[in-house]
Chain A
Amino acid sequence: MINWIIGGIIIGLTVFIIVQRIRSMRRGESGCCSGCSVSKSQCHCDHKK
């Protein structure tokens, strides 16, 4: 049971991250600067305190 639960969570998370990544790249966001659209010029553009 534990194998199915943890394995399922890991696979689910991996698929979710990959899909999110592809989506955000299609939106033009950078993988280097989290949350930054490539329509902006700098990293950390959307970070708030």
Chain B
Amino acid sequence: MHYKFALVGNPNCGKTTMFNEITGSTQYVGNWPGVTIEKKEGKAKKFKEDIKIIDLPGIYSLSPYSMEEIIARDYILDEKPDVLINIIDATNIERNLYLTTQVIELGIPVVVALNMMDAVEAKGDQIDIRALEKAFGVPIIGTSANKGKGINELLHKALEVAESSALTHGTSACKFYDEQIEKCIGEIENTIVPSLTVKAQNPRWTALKLLEGDEKAKEKLNVSAKVLDQIKVYQEKLEKVYDNDMETIIADNRYRFISKSISKAVKKKSAGGELTVSDKIDKVVTHRILAIPLFLAVMLGIFQITFGAIGSFTIDWVDVLINETIAGTVSGWLEVSGAAPWLHDLVVNGIIGGMGSMLVFVPQIMILFFFLAILEDSGYMSRAAFVMDRLLRKLGLSGKSFIPMLMGFGCSVPAIMSARTLENEKDRRLTIILTLFMSCGAKLPVYALFVSAFFAKDQAWVVFSIYVLGIIVAVFSGVILKKTVLKGETAPFVMELPPYRIPTFKGLSIHMLDRGKDFVKKAGTIIFAAAVVIWFAQSFSFSLQMVEDPGNSIMGTFGKIIAPFFAPLGFGDWKSSVALLTGFVAKEVVVATLGILHGLGEVGEDTASLAATLQTSFTPLKAYAFMAFTLLYMPCVAAFGTIKREMNSWKWTLFTVGYQTGVAWIVAFIIYQGGRLLGFN
């Protein structure tokens, strides 16, 4: 049999963790709301039945206000899953049950997963699951998705509900409203709904939506003016009785029902008002004065570990493996096989040198992402967003922009896409532009190479300052753009702070290994192809003759044309200029290009040799200006495509890329020329 189960629940209630547990996927899980923006699909493992699981975005209600709510509701109504698995954060049961009341009303079989029961038990609270089942009329199973507890029981129950022909367990006969409202719903259901031109699949739900005045539902049902007048009579009658608007009356009734139900089923150990551990930690980490210095100190600590002794050890180890062991073996084998010098140069200097120059930094990057994952999974990153919101609001920007900006530290592509959560188009465009100033993971090999060459003793401080520079430039750009081309009202930002959680080793490993896998995969595909093309362009002239001096090659000729553009920034040599240009393919290619052009990969040449070669054409000041330019200039081709897709305008896409490159040039110019004026070298 084929079944379709959809997971629905509030943001950060553990849906994606549940999805991963059921399907065996390794979806990204974050301890902040809004990790899932679009639905994801997978198949349940360990079941002989063919069960498709759909992970819907986290939503607080089924009212069609935000994009996530519309996606979730449209999916449920149009695709009609066999069972809706409503996941509830048991530590925040009252608010989570609001969505449950709406989900039950849809008329699709529902099974509730009371998730995070381990946290409830740890707090010493008690939930009478049977009493809740009785109140809501649907099966409820206690689960702890992060520990894999209750998942099988939940799926068995969902299967049972899906298989039962009468579906009596799934569709609840529960009524959440006062008698007067129920009477109006009943009358609309019996007299008005049958007369609609579009046939209602769930008459009671349709009646309720019409009474509530749900615009999307009215649009979908193609409701005539005559019907709207009939509905208005009921609405006016109830609004007079309750002295409130219809939407509030309905919401208030649902909350009253929930309140009544949980007063019988939930017993809290501590009286309300007592501070939880999360509250106590928050008093410090979101403190008005301490919060930002603390955030900066935490980030600096992470950079110290990553670029300190541990990180350096991993570089040395991988360096020996690639540039001595592998390059030596391959070189020896090619010589024995009688390979031509050009092939030897292509394989050893071009491919191994190009790929190797980036791969040596992969373990270091994995260490950084391991620590960033701890911050994220523990719930600390949400606090950082909250703290930044306070700062951004003072500058007239929406704190909502900061979540995509935080995601931009990983990869710009999903970060640009997460700007979709902003309803206002101007805010969305602004967020996309600001996100691109964040230092994505692909730029890390560039920093790692330059700090090891020029700032050996202060590696962590320098990389940290580059990250902070990105944030500062983004904030300044935001203020300028908000006052000029993207003028408009700032959307309010409401964000729920998730409770602190101890990150699971599994979760951290997924983050770290995925990041490492992505880099290795990229090295084996894009960087490989780029290395071959770069080797060709630096070995041949326009007349396709092999050249001795790379300065006379295709790449050299081209590099010399564009070099004057970079000369005022301190890196006007053709090799650096052309390396920046190849960064459009992928940012790691900047390092691969420098590696190939400076002969990394030749046996005996290692990353330390490349660093020494760079010291002949760069000074620490020039190196810092180069890193700042790399941080801020135009994005890679994948991000470029995503900007075009998301902005849906060539004008705005080109403006974004032009603005970024312009800002990068100005900032690098100020750093280099300002540094020189101050006597730095």
A: residues with CB less than 8 A from B are: 2-3, 6-7, 10-11, 13-14, 17-18, 20-21, 25, 28, 30-34, 36, 38-45, 47-49
A-B contact pairs, 9 of them (CB 8 A): A25-B638, A31-B637, A32-B441, A38-B641, A41-B417, A42-B27, A42-B28, A43-B411, A47-B25
B501 at the A/B interface (Cβ < 8 Å)?
no
Q: Which of A11, A13, A21, A38 contacts B526 (CB 8 A)?
A: A21
Q: Are A10 and B24 in contact (CB under 8 A)?
A: no
B26 at the A/B interface (Cβ < 8 Å)?
yes
Q: Would you give the shortest CB distance from A30 to chain B, in whole angstroms?
A: 4
Of listed B35, B413, B522, residue having the most chain A CB within 10 A: B413
Q: Which of B36, B37, B518 contacts A32 (CB 8 A)?
A: B518
B594 at the A/B interface (Cβ < 8 Å)?
no
CB-nearest residue of chain A to B640 = A25
A residues near B37, Cβ cutoff 8 Å: 41-42
B residues near A33, Cβ cutoff 8 Å: 411, 413-414, 518
A residues near B117, Cβ cutoff 8 Å: none
Q: Are B528 and A13 in contact (CB under 8 A)?
A: yes
A residues near B529, Cβ cutoff 8 Å: 13-14, 17-18, 21
Q: Which of A6, A42, A49 contacts B35 (CB 8 A)?
A: A42
* Interchain residue pairs A-B with the least CB separation, the first 8: A31-B638, A41-B37, A32-B411, A30-B413, A17-B529, A42-B28, A14-B532, A14-B529
B residues near A42, Cβ cutoff 8 Å: 27-28, 35-37, 414
Q: Would you give the shortest CB distance from A10 to chain B, in whole angstroms?
A: 6
B337 at the A/B interface (Cβ < 8 Å)?
yes
With A and B bound together, what is the CA distance between A41 and B27 in angstroms? Answer: 11
Given contacts A18-B529, A30-B414, contact A44 B645 (CB under 8 A): no
A residues near B517, Cβ cutoff 8 Å: 34
Q: In chain B, residues 4-27, which have Cβ atoms closer than 8 Å to a Cβ of chain A?
A: 24-27
B391 at the A/B interface (Cβ < 8 Å)?
no
CB-nearest residue of chain B to A17 = B529
Q: Would you give the shortest CB distance from B38 to chain A, in whole angstroms?
A: 5
Question: Which of B343-351, B557-565, B604-612 lies at the binding interface?
Answer: B343-351
A residues near B440, Cβ cutoff 8 Å: 32
Given contacts A13-B528, A17-B529, A47-B26, contact A34 B522 (CB under 8 A): yes
With A and B bound together, what is the CA distance between A31 and B525 in angstroms? Answer: 10
B167 at the A/B interface (Cβ < 8 Å)?
no
B459 at the A/B interface (Cβ < 8 Å)?
no
Q: Are A32 and B26 in contact (CB under 8 A)?
A: no
B residues near A30, Cβ cutoff 8 Å: 411, 413-414, 638, 642
CB-nearest residue of chain A to B639 = A32
Q: Are A17 and B525 in contact (CB under 8 A)?
A: yes
Q: Are B525 and A41 in contact (CB under 8 A)?
A: no
Q: Are B25 and A3 in contact (CB under 8 A)?
A: no
Q: Are A41 and B418 in contact (CB under 8 A)?
A: yes
A residues near B642, Cβ cutoff 8 Å: 30, 38
Q: Are B528 and A43 in contact (CB under 8 A)?
A: no
With A and B bound together, what is the CA distance between A33 and B526 in angstroms? Answer: 12
Starting from the known contacts A10-B351, A31-B522, A42-B37, 11 additional A-B residue pairs (CB-CB under 8 Å) come to A6-B339, A7-B346, A13-B528, A17-B529, A21-B525, A21-B526, A31-B413, A31-B638, A39-B38, A41-B37, A49-B26
A residues near B412, Cβ cutoff 8 Å: 32
A residues near B636, Cβ cutoff 8 Å: 31-32
Q: Are B525 and A43 in contact (CB under 8 A)?
A: no
Q: Would you give the shortest CB distance from B115 to chain A, in whole angstroms?
A: 20
Q: Would you give the shortest CB distance from B327 to chain A, in whole angstroms?
A: 16
Q: Are B518 and A14 in contact (CB under 8 A)?
A: no
Q: Would you give the shortest CB distance from A32 to chain B, in whole angstroms?
A: 4
Q: Are B38 and A25 in contact (CB under 8 A)?
A: no
B residues near A48, Cβ cutoff 8 Å: 24-26
CB-nearest residue of chain A to B514 = A44
B338 at the A/B interface (Cβ < 8 Å)?
yes
Q: Which of A3, A25, A32, A45 contacts B339 (CB 8 A)?
A: A3
Q: Which of B40, B528, B639 contacts A45 (CB 8 A)?
A: B40
B586 at the A/B interface (Cβ < 8 Å)?
yes
Q: Are B514 and A47 in contact (CB under 8 A)?
A: yes
What is the 8 Å Cβ interface bit string for chain B, positions 118-136, against chain A (1 contact, 0 not)?
Answer: 0000000000000000000
B residues near A2, Cβ cutoff 8 Å: 337-339, 343
B533 at the A/B interface (Cβ < 8 Å)?
yes
With A and B bound together, what is the CA distance between A30 and B227 in angstroms? Answer: 48
Q: Are A7 and B343 in contact (CB under 8 A)?
A: yes
B183 at the A/B interface (Cβ < 8 Å)?
no
What is the 8 Å Cβ interface bit string for chain B, positions 636-664, against chain A (1 contact, 0 not)?
Answer: 11110110010000000000000000000
B410 at the A/B interface (Cβ < 8 Å)?
yes
With A and B bound together, what is the CA distance between A18 and B528 in angstroms? Answer: 10
Q: Are B25 and A38 in contact (CB under 8 A)?
A: no
What is the 8 Å Cβ interface bit string for chain B, positions 349-368, against chain A (1 contact, 0 not)?
Answer: 00100000000000000000
A residues near B337, Cβ cutoff 8 Å: 2
Q: In chain B, residues 568-600, which have Cβ atoms closer than 8 Å to a Cβ of chain A?
A: 586
A residues near B638, Cβ cutoff 8 Å: 25, 30-32
With A and B bound together, what is the CA distance between A2 and B336 in angstroms? Answer: 11
With A and B bound together, what is the CA distance between A2 and B514 in angstroms? Answer: 37
Q: Would you give the shortest CB distance from A26 to chain B, in whole angstroms?
A: 9
A residues near B204, Cβ cutoff 8 Å: none
Given contacts A10-B346, A38-B645, A41-B417, contact A17 B526 (CB under 8 A): yes
Q: Which of B413, B414, B518, B532 contacts A11 (CB 8 A)?
A: B532
B111 at the A/B interface (Cβ < 8 Å)?
no
Q: Which of A10, A25, A28, A40 contacts B637 (CB 8 A)?
A: A25
With A and B bound together, what is the CA distance between A11 and B337 in angstroms? Answer: 19
Q: Are B532 and A31 in contact (CB under 8 A)?
A: no
Given contacts A6-B347, A34-B517, contact A44 B28 (CB under 8 A): yes
